[in-house]
Amino acid sequence: MQMNENNKLKKMQMYLLNAEENALPKDAYLQVDFACNAKCIMCDIWKNPFIGDTVLLYSIIDKLSNLNFEYITLWGGEPLLHPKIDDLIVYAKNKGLKVQMITNGSLLDEHIDVICEHVNNLVVSIDSGNASIHDDIRNKPRHFFISC
């Protein structure tokens, strides 16, 4: 089942509404996009690329900060594909949030300065310690060596 743009936006807005109406934890996961540059055999998110609305993402970060959340985990798809990811990371950090990110690692070089300065915890998904198996799962040649 493919999600259309309105359903994806509604899903993101639902997260914010849920946070307003319920007892709050101290950490939140914010899916910044549904795009991915890998084509993993266990996932089809790359078939429905969608980049989260930057204004809405800033609004959610504001709300989380105002509600005294401690951590925000940025993820996707591949969050480093979001064209404003560096700005979102810095913005969240400046709002007093500890920033975590889940990534496939393939685009780290392009964002390394911002990540090193502003990301508190970085999770790089590795499917196997064997490069060939990892690359087969990701359907992306040399991905293991790029990610590690």
Q: Is the pLDDT of residue 47 over 90?
A: no
Q: Is the pLDDT of residue 66 over 80?
A: yes
Q: Is the pLDDT of residue 124 over 80?
A: yes
pLDDT of residue 23: 64
**Domain total of the chain:** 1
pLDDT of residue 3: 57
- Tokens 């934890």 -> residue: 25
pLDDT of residue 24: 64
Residue 93 belongs to a domain = yes
Spatial CA neighbour of 29 closest among 45, 43, 12, 17: 12
Q: Mean pLDDT lowest for which of 1-5, 35-39, 115-119?
A: 1-5
Spatial CA neighbour of 136 closest among 37, 41, 36, 35: 41
**pLDDT-above-90 percentage for the chain:** 66
CATH number reported for the structural domain that contains residue 9 in this entry? 3.20.20.70
Q: Is the pLDDT of residue 116 over 70?
A: yes
Residue 20 belongs to a domain = no
CA 11 – CA 98 distance, rounded (Å): 23
Residue 48 belongs to a domain = yes
pLDDT band at 64 (very low <50, low <70, confident <90, very high): very high
Residue 21 belongs to a domain = no
Residue 130 belongs to a domain = yes
Residue 35 belongs to a domain = yes
pLDDT of residue 17: 77
pLDDT of residue 39: 92
Domain range for 105: 5-14+26-147
Residue 115 belongs to a domain = yes
The mean pLDDT of 55-78, rounded to a whole number, is 95
Residue 136 belongs to a domain = yes
